[in-house]
Structure 1
Amino acid sequence: MNFLQGCIVFLGYIHSFRALAILFIVAGHSIDFFIWSEQYEALERLLRILISHGASGLFVFIAGYLFQHLAAKYQTKKYFASKLKNVLLPYFLVSIPAIIIFIFFIHRETVWQGFYDNPQWLQVVYFYLTGLHLAPFWFIPMMTLFYLMGPILIRADKNKFFYWILPVAILISCYFGRGLPYQSFVHFFSVYLLGMFCSHYKVTVNRILVIPSVLTLLTGVFLFLTVLEFYYVKGTMIFVNYLHKITLCLFFLGLLIKLGKKLDYKLIRVIADTSFGVFFIHSYVLTGSKMLITKLSGEKTVGNLLLYPLVVIAVLMSCVGIIVIIQKMLGSKSRYLVGS
């Protein structure tokens, strides 16, 4: 899905942010490509803190930013039609193989108890409504709730007092974790709202975020939260990690604005252009590669600091290549299949 289509002003730094966000998504899910020995237990935990849990917040932030950026051209019917064709239709189609596998051949371990006691047609409905059939797909049912909220958010954006709720929304997100789509919607609402806020006040926000001392401060907060979570907090899906990721959103926004055209490379543009398609297929590529390597070697791959980045790059670029081929074969219709 090309979020930047029809923009009033092309935002190069947000386009680069999309490439960075999909890198985080692929890198986060690549951690589970490996088994991690005790020797690399600390590395695995650090990777999950820095990259994995909450990385979807980067995409949510970008979505909120671009939603507000395009608010002046918002038309409800066109907006819903676009989301139906470019998000929900690809979600429906790309989900089919996984749903067939997890209903007729293998039982998914991540579903709730009693899930498979339901009729098969209802299992299909539940998979589509929750996105539990593939690790990243919980994101689409959650984002659908944001799409449905579009008309309300457009009206709220015009109210000068609307963004005063942001601190309260952040506080709620800290203590209301992810789960079913409505729970994830509540958890990530403040991130989406933060993206809208940064876009609404972009003239002021951009000027502040590029100040070296502000970037340094955000780096310090990021490192403090990383150390705090690594040494003093059990688990990773907690409020410290949430604050860690929204700090990262602001840091990356400021850094990418500051770097500007220095990031204008064809590779970054291609990754950004195909990012939503990569989101849809990377789980298939990761799982297929993992199964193939395990079958050929006879054992699971043990993670380390060398293999991990190689897998991340290989999976990302393989997905980009697949999406580019699909785009060349189907042209503009490719977005109906893979969202890009």
Structure 2
Amino acid sequence: MESAKPQKIYSIHVLRGVAIIMIVFSHCLGVFKNSNLIANSYLFSFLNLFAFNFTTFFVLIAGFLFQHLTYKFDTKTYYLSKFKTVVCPYISVSIFCFFFYHYQYLSGLPWYSSTEPNVISSIIRMMLTGTQLLPLWFMPMIIIVYLMGPLLFYWSKKNLIVAGLIAMLWVVMFTKPDFTKPFLNLLHYGPVYLIGMMLKQNYETIMKSVKDNLLLVIFLFGLCFFIPFAYRYMDYFGIQNLYFDTLQKIILFILALYFLDGLNHKVNEGKIYKFFSYMANVSFPIYFIHEIIVIELERQLYMSPMGDIIKTSNGELASLGAISFLVSTLVISVIIANIIKLVFKDKAKYLIGGMR
């Protein structure tokens, strides 16, 4: 157990900003629904695959920071903090979704029934699976991880290098399940959280290993990216039962830590750093509200004279549209987050998550 307060790791802070941008981008790409886009456009297919599953970054960062902050772990304080900054905004955003996206369905159900669907059982089911809004699938799973805090604290004092390597093999063999299955998602992403802890625990050793084998690590990342990319265009590629997307993001995360390590040893005042630092600071509010913005922007576009763009089979046009959606969504999300912060001040974290 670490006894002294460790130095802030600025590279992790930047990667939090990168992760939230890419998560939003993946949902913006999803606005363009033509089923032939990936087949017709290598560009759209590349962006789709690269942006997909940056949730892995969030889980790695969470595990990394848990290990980083074990010096001040206290069970009661830990649970209270997670309740305020994770559970409360999950509940508040869910209430918004129930009224604005599920009201028509819920209003047609009885409040309670032991024999048929009802309001109470439907709300409980959505809360336990995160199906009330696309990005919220993540919440039930990560809440279970947080509930395991004392056990994870116990493991944090063990040598995790072997467990981390086994976990990397596990995420390839245990395919990422359906979004609506939190316990199966826990079996996939729980080991990713453990890998994040292992990376922090063995940070210097891993950075040295990457430096000594940089071309090999880059090759492994390229291989994990190429295999699922090629599988989209080749039948019987022989990887149907393997899942490379999460391992791909783990290797990318390790490479990013290596290339950004210099940030941890200097004063960072550049505009690029400040941008990603700010995005990291507002990452929780963006996560909780961005999909609402995407839905509304998509609805406005659909009703406009340019509504047919959503169904375009032109990959370049769809890619440009997704980037435009990304910029618009981020700007509007930040504005809304700051308005809520201005109005509710410190209580805003209970509504949309904490802002640093």
Q: Summarize the alignment of residues 208-247 of structure 1 with structure 2, pairs less than 5 Å apart.
A: 208-209=209-210, 211=211, 214-232=213-231, 239-247=243-251
CA shift for structure 1 position 133: 1.2
| Change in 2 beyond 3 A, CA 1:163/1:117 | farther
Deviation at 1:31, TM superposition (A): 0.9
For residues 219 and 335 of structure 2, the distance between their equivalents in structure 1, rounded to whole angstroms, comes to 37
TM-superposed CA distance for 1:225, in Å, is 2.1
Equivalent position of 1:296 in the other structure = 304
Deviation string 1:67-114 (CA, Å, 9 cap, x unpaired) is: 11011100000000000011000000011122234543259xxxxxxx
Query: CA 1:17–1:243 in structure 2 vs 1: closer, same or farther (change >3 Å)?
Result: same
Please report how far the alpha carbon of residue 9 of structure 1 lies from its aligned counterpart in structure 2 after TM superposition: 2.6
Aligned residue for 1:164?
162
State the number of aligned residues.
323
TM-score, length-normalised on structure 1? 0.86
Partner of 1:310: 324
Contact 2:25–2:51 (CA under 8 A) maintained in structure 1: yes
Please say which of residues 96-105 and 65-74 is displaced more in the overlay. Answer: 96-105
Alignment partner of 1:306: what SS? helix
Is the Cα contact below 8 Å between 2:130 and 2:137 reproduced in 1?
A: yes
Task: In structure 2, give the amino acid aligned to 1:271.
Answer: M
The separation in 2 between residues aligned to 1:39 and 1:149, in whole angstroms, is 41
What is the distance in 1 between the residues matched to 2:338 and 2:242? 37
How far 1:318 moved relative to its partner? 1.9
Q: State the distance in 1 between where 2:69 and 2:88 align.
A: 22
CA distance in 2, matches of 1:332, 1:167: 41
Per the TM alignment, residue 336 of structure 1 is displaced from its structure 2 partner at its CA by: 1.1
1:22 to 5, 20, 29: 20
What is the CA–CA distance in structure 2 between the aligned matches of 1:21 and 1:64, rounded to whole Å? 15
| Residues 65 and 199 in structure 1, CA contact (< 8 A), matched pair in contact too | yes
Bigger shift: 35-44 or 78-87?
35-44
The 1:223–1:157 alpha-carbon spacing in structure 2 relative to 1, beyond 3 Å, is same
Q: 2:167·2:195 contact (CA, 8 Å) conserved in 1?
A: no
1:270-313 CA distances to partner (integer Å, 9 max, x unpaired)? 11100011000000000011001111226342352322222212
Cα distance, 1:8 vs structure 2: 4.0
Checking the alignment, whether the CA contact within 8 Å between 1:215 and 1:255 is kept in structure 2 is: no
Query: Aligned residue for 2:48?
Result: 48
1:299 to 1:251, Cα distance in 2 relative to 1, 3 A: same
Aligned with 2:252 (options 248, 260, 281): 248
Instruction: String of CA shifts for 1:239-273, please: whole Å, max 9, x gaps.
Output: 12122111111112212213553676332221110
Q: SS of 1:105's equivalent? A: helix
Distance 2:139 2:347 in 1: 20
Distance 1:62 1:22, change over 3 A: same
Q: Which runs of 5+ in 1 are unaligned?
A: 1-6, 108-115
User: Which residue identity is paired with 2:190?
Assistant: F
1:99 paired residue number? 98
RMSD: 2.6
The alpha carbon displacement at 1:320 in A equals: 1.8
Alpha carbons 2:14, 2:273 under 8 Å: kept: no
Percentage of pairs with the same residue: 29
Aligned mate of 2:33, from 30, 35, 43: 35
**Residue 335 of structure 2 aligns with which residue?**
321
TM superposition shift of 1:66? 0.3
TM-score under structure 2 length normalisation: 0.83
Q: Distance in 2 between matches of 1:255 and 1:78?
A: 34
Q: Secondary structure of 1:305's partner?
A: helix
Select between 142-151 and 316-325 the one with higher mean Cα deviation.
316-325
1:85 aligns with 2:84: yes
Matched, 1:193 2:201: no
Do the aligned residues in 2 keep the contact of 1:285 with 1:319 (CA within 8 Å)? yes
